[in-house]
């Protein structure tokens, strides 16, 4: 398959065409290509090329025609809105030999939507009720303009609005299920905080050699997500294969990266769900993470049942005043020390009346602090069972060190909760 | 210019080609196209197309050749590393008729770099000392592999490593200055928290009509950045034009969006610099923002001189215990109330011994709280001069409401500091 880029249509290869001046001018970051790349690869349609073109009829038609000459599936995003620069429908009509027509049912639905809110549709909004003759209309569960599916040459072309939430909704609910063609697909993820992506890849190499599952990696700021995708004749078999593969992956990871926790959810989600299951409450004390650890926990729906609050004692004297860290300790060692982390975790637990306390202290940089080098970080956890401290030596810029410190704290908490 | 997409080479139009399997498989979000789109447009080279291709010699060569047939400038990123799948150099050699050769000076520098760290270069690393004969070598101030500049047909092709920091360094220090061709370019930005991008655009429409300055907008999570770029014969004239344009923009914004503060820095940076200038210290009390407001302030270098800390009183009883909010107030109105925000700001200022206190409380959703609707947010500021409260009605999901609440608090603080 790899040798065939220019050798005509490949049976199970996709291309993506993103339409929009704003994507080229540096105004808006495209978020669709990344998501489509991952999802289409999981379904057996690796994306071979992505082209971003302006809101220009000729440019759109040329890019889609070229993509359709090379790939079996082309996904086009953007240019289906209700303003004069939205010309993707016209480009599709030209390529397919169809015409742009207003769909009576869509128009009725659109007018009813505005009427419900007591609003009149803005100028041009009715363009969102337009379709291309001969194209299948794809219902949009998340927005107004529907998607379209049509043939250009031998390729199947799926045309979607540019809004990421609408792309995902139409793909997940309408398009991806039909790509399975009599098969079922499922994905399970594992998350490894503070893991090295290459080491995780090495550990899972035996898994990649198997044909029944695809292994994908997504690494950001020290967190590695392993995505395992299976495609089988039916959903029951997918579930069985994934169950077996996840078990095998856990065994391989336990051998290959024994020091790294392997989670079924992202770390903050895993921490909140395990504490909810106990049930137990959590209080946080932060120095270098500056509120980011609490903010990550708060992002989890239902966090309020678990999270009492956080004390960001950025100034050293507040570590004594708000968290009860001993003045002698701070004078003797400064704020960056394992015993300070331990005292902060205990202080948070006691002063915020929580079952568990979690703390971070360290040097995010750019310069050393209290004689400690950039990247020296101590995280601690405290509960009625006792306290635990872990010292980390982290690399990167301020933001990276902060995020890794928060991950390290969550990792320690999760181990203590086991 | 807009009509000429397919009509041969346009004199001042660019294309971008991004190379990398990981960009197509959904593993890595491309960050180069967005940045290049903004910077090249500012220099008078709007990007007309961006193509993402896999690490495949034929695919890279075909994409660059096509781009070079349409645009005067082509920027290629990625595929210059030291592993076997990095084949961009080979593609460039094929297109330009040159050969891939190891450069003795680069090799020496590379070996010295590893020797300094007492490390041996990994397998393949010496590929990063390879250049294409006939191509200009572009020094890389941020990494190992240099960039290359060569001609393909009538187009100038700039080839850069894929790492965003290296793309920016080589472009800013080596490539962009040469694009000015006897002219100088400069940019000034203004930031407007909690502004509507369309309203800002309407207010600045008279500015866009002027030929001496380009106006660009970048909007994310309620913060609008207005970028003003001027291109003149020399740096002194650029500075004079920008000074005049910024003054005019401020006048137009004061008339068009009078309720929105107009900042010379992003809000958290502006808050820290104004407080440093006083000089004064700040303490934060957070409810719905959950630590994100403090975390945004901590991101600013030098924040430790100003920021004392933050109390994230997520649980209602902690608002009384840690911040001294009156129990009667909380019982009568719940946690989401202007007076609670005021008492939190005052409590933070007093209990954390700061000159200024800043607080947020509200409902991030997804469900109402204490009988208050999703999006009801109150922010407050407290100082020796007195207290101020502002009530906001925000829209969006949890994350959006939180970020907007933090922006609203910073906006109120900045107004109070004027």
Strands (E), A79-212: 100-102, 130-132, 136-138, 147-152, 155-160, 184-193
- Two structure tokens written together for B370: 């204490």
- Calculate the dihedral angle through the C-alpha atoms of A34, B216, A59, A141, rounding to the nearest 10 degrees: 50
Q: Which of B1, B25, B288, B374 to mutate to test the interface with A (most CBs of A within 10 A)?
A: B25
Is B142 touching A (CB cutoff 8 A)? no
- Computed over every residue of chain B, the mean pLDDT equals 90
3-class SS letters over B308-344: EEEEECCCHHHHHHHHCCCHHHHHHHCCCCHHHHHHH
Nearest-CA distance A104 → chain B (Å): 31
A216 vs B27, B54, B298: nearest CB: B27
The shortest C-alpha distance from A315 to chain B (Å) reads: 5
pLDDT at A6: 34
β-bridge mates for residue B224, sequence order:
B192, B219
**Average pLDDT for residues B289-312, to the nearest whole number?**
94
Q: Which structure tokens are listed for B117?
A: 């760290």
- B6/A308 CB distance under 8 A: no
pLDDT digits (tens, 9 = 90+) for B188-214: 999 999 988 778 888 998 887 776 788
Backbone angles phi, psi at A383, to 5 degrees: -150, 180
| Domain-embedded: residue B293 | yes
Considering the domain architecture, whether residues B20 and B118 belong to the same structural domain is answered as yes
What domain range is A217 assigned to? 184-256
B62 contact residues in A (CB cutoff 8 A): 5-6
Contact B38 A26 (CB under 8 A): yes
A214 and A292 share one domain: no
What distance in Å separates residue B398's CA from the closest CA in chain A?
8
* Residues B56 and B90: beta-carbon distance below 8 Å: no
Q: Is B139 part of a structural domain of the chain?
A: yes
Q: How far apart are CA B414 and CA B418, in angstroms?
A: 6
**B117 touches A at CB < 8 Å:** no
Buried b / exposed e over B109-123, threshold 16 CB at 10 Å, is: ebeeeeeeeeeebee
Any residues with CB less than 8 A from the CB of B115 and at least 6 apart, and which? none
Q: What is the ipTM of this complex?
A: 0.76
Rg (CA), chain B: 26
**pLDDT value of residue A175:** 94
One domain, residues B207 and B309: no
The answer for A 190-219 residues in CB contact with B (under 8 A) is 216-219
Identify whether B261 is part of a domain: no
Flag the least confident range among A282-286, B6-10, B246-250: B6-10
**CA distance to partner chain A, nearest, from residue B25 (Å):** 5
Number of domain units in chain B: 3
Residue B192 and residue B317 in one domain = no
- pLDDT tens sequence across B251-276: 999 999 998 999 999 999 999 999 99
* Domain end call among B140, B156, B179: B179
Where is the domain boundary, A234, A256, A278? A256
Same domain (yes/no): A161, A215: no
Q: Residue B163 to residues A94, A194, A236, B24, B79: CA-CA distances in angstroms?
A: 39, 21, 42, 16, 10
With contact defined as beta carbons under 8 Å apart, do A75 and A161 qualify?
no
Nearest to A286 by CA among A326, A333, A318, A330: A318
Q: With respect to residue A342, please indicate whether it lies within any of the assigned structural domains.
A: yes
Question: In the prediction, which pLDDT does B38 show?
Answer: 87
Tokens standing for residue A101: 């027509």
Query: Which phi and psi (to 5°) does residue B235 adopt?
Result: -65, -35
B399 → chain A, closest CA residue:
A299
Contact A294 B301 (CB under 8 A): no
* Secondary structure class of B234 (helix, strand, coil): coil
Are A206 and A286 contained in the same domain? no
3-state DSSP assignment of residue B133 = coil
- CB–CB of B286/B293 below 8 Å? yes
Residue window 4-63, chain A: list those with CB within 8 Å of chain B. 5-6, 23-31, 33-39, 41, 46-54, 56, 58-59, 62-63
- Which residue in the block uniquely carries the two structure tokens 């202080």? A347
Q: Which of residues 363-382 of B touch A (CB under 8 A)?
A: 366
A395 reaches B (C-beta below 8 A): no
Torsion of Cα atoms, A296 then A302 then A308 then A314, to 10°: 10
- To the nearest whole Å, the CA of A133 is away from the closest chain B CA by 27
B27 closest CA partner among A36, A194, A213: A36
Residue B84, classified by CB atoms within 10 Å of its CB into exposed (0-12), middle (13-18) or buried (19+), is exposed
Which residues lie below 8 Å from residue A348, measured CB to CB, with a gap of 6+? A283, A284, A285, A310, A311, A323, A354, A357, A358, A359, A382
| pLDDT tens-digit series, residues A148-191 | 999 999 999 999 999 888 999 999 999 998 886 667 778 899 99
Residues B280, B157 within the same domain = no
Q: Which of A28, A51, A304 sits opposite B314 (nearest CB)?
A: A304
pLDDT at residue B223 greater than cutoff 80: yes
Contact B34 A26 (CB under 8 A): yes
pLDDT of residue A123: 67
Predicted local confidence at residue B19, as pLDDT: 96
User: Does B92 lie in the same domain as B42?
Assistant: yes
Do B7 and B142 lie in a common domain? yes
Q: For B117-138, write each residue's pLDDT tens digit.
A: 676 776 677 888 999 999 999 9
Q: Which of A5, A25, A304 sits opposite B37 (nearest CB)?
A: A25
Please report where in the chains the tokens 């995902």 appear, as a residue: A168
Give me the total of CB pairs closer than 8 Å, taking one residue from chain A and one from chain B.
Answer: 234
Whether B226 and chain A come into contact, CB under 8 Å, resolves to no
Contact A290 B289 (CB under 8 A): no
- Assess contact for A342 and A387: CB atoms under 8 A: yes
Q: Are residues B410 and B271 in the same domain?
A: yes
Chain A residues within an 8 Å CB radius of B46: 24-25
Kindly state whether residues A150 and A31 are assigned to the same domain. Answer: yes
- CATH classification of the domain holding A220: 3.30.70.2860
- Structural contact between residues A271 and A294, judged by C-beta atoms closer than 8 angstroms: no
Contact B311 A312 (CB under 8 A): yes
Domain boundary among B231, B256, B281: B256
Within A302-397, where are the H helices?
A: 316-323, 327-333, 338-351
Tokens of B214: 């380009």
Kindly report the CATH number assigned to the domain that includes residue A174. 3.40.980.10
Q: How far is CA A358 from each of CA A221, A261, A297, B254, B401, rounded to the nearest angstrom?
A: 20, 17, 12, 46, 26
B77-90: pLDDT as tens digits: 999 987 778 899 99
User: Token pair for residue A396?
Assistant: 């990167």
Residue in the structure block whose two tokens are 């031998």: A154
pLDDT means over runs of 10, chain A (418 residues): 35 90 84 91 89 95 96 95 85 95 91 78 81 95 90 95 92 88 80 87 84 76 84 87 95 94 95 96 97 95 94 95 96 95 98 98 90 95 97 87 95 93
Note whether A312 and A271 are same-domain residues. yes
């Amino acid at each position: 398959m790899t040798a065939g880029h220019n050798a005509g249509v490949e049976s199970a290869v996709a291309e993506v065409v993103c339409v929009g001046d704003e994507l080229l001018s540096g105004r808006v970051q495209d978020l669709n290509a990344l998501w489509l790349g991952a999802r289409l690869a999981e379904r057996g349609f690796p994306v071979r090329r992505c082209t971003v073109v302006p809101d220009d009829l000729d440019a759109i038609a040329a890019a889609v025609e070229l993509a359709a000459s090379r790939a079996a599936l082309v996904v086009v995003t953007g240019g289906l809105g209700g303003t004069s620069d939205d010309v993707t429908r016209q480009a599709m009509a030209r390529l397919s030999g169809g015409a742009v027509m207003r769909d009576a049912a869509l128009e009725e639905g659109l007018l009813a939507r505005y009427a419900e809110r007591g609003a009149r549709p803005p100028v041009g909004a009715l363009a969102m009720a337009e379709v291309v003759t001969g194209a299948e209309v794809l219902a949009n569960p998340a927005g107004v303009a529907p998607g379209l599916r049509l043939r250009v040459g031998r390729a199947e072309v799926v045309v979607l609005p540019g809004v990421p939430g609408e792309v995902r909704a139409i793909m997940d609910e309408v398009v991806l299920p039909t790509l399975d063609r009599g098969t079922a697909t499922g994905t399970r993820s594992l998350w490894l905080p503070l893991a090295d992506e290459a080491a995780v890849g090495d550990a899972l190499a035996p898994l990649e050699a198997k044909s029944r599952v695809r292994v994908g990696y997504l690494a950001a700021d020290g967190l590695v997500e392993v995505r395992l995708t299976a495609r089988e004749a039916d959903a029951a078999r997918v579930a069985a294969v994934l169950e077996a593969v996840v078990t095998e992956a856990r065994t391989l990871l336990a051998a290959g990266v024994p020091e790294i926790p392997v989670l079924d959810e992202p770390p903050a989600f895993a921490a909140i769900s395990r504490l909810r299951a106990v049930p137990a409450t959590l209080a946080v004390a932060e120095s270098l993470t500056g509120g980011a650890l609490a903010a990550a926990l708060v992002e989890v729906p239902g966090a309020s049942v678990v999270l009492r609050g956080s004390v960001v004692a950025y100034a050293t004297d507040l570590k004594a005043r708000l968290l009860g860290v001993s003045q002698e300790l701070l004078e003797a060692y400064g704020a960056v020390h394992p015993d300070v982390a331990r005292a902060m975790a205990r202080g948070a637990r006691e002063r915020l009346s929580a079952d568990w306390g979690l703390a971070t202290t360290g040097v995010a940089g750019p310069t050393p602090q209290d004689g400690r080098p950039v990247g020296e970080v101590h995280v601690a956890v405290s509960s009625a069972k006792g306290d635990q401290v872990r010292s980390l030596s982290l690399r990167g810029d301020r933001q990276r060190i902060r995020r890794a410190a928060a991950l390290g704290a969550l990792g320690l908490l999760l181990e203590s909760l086991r």
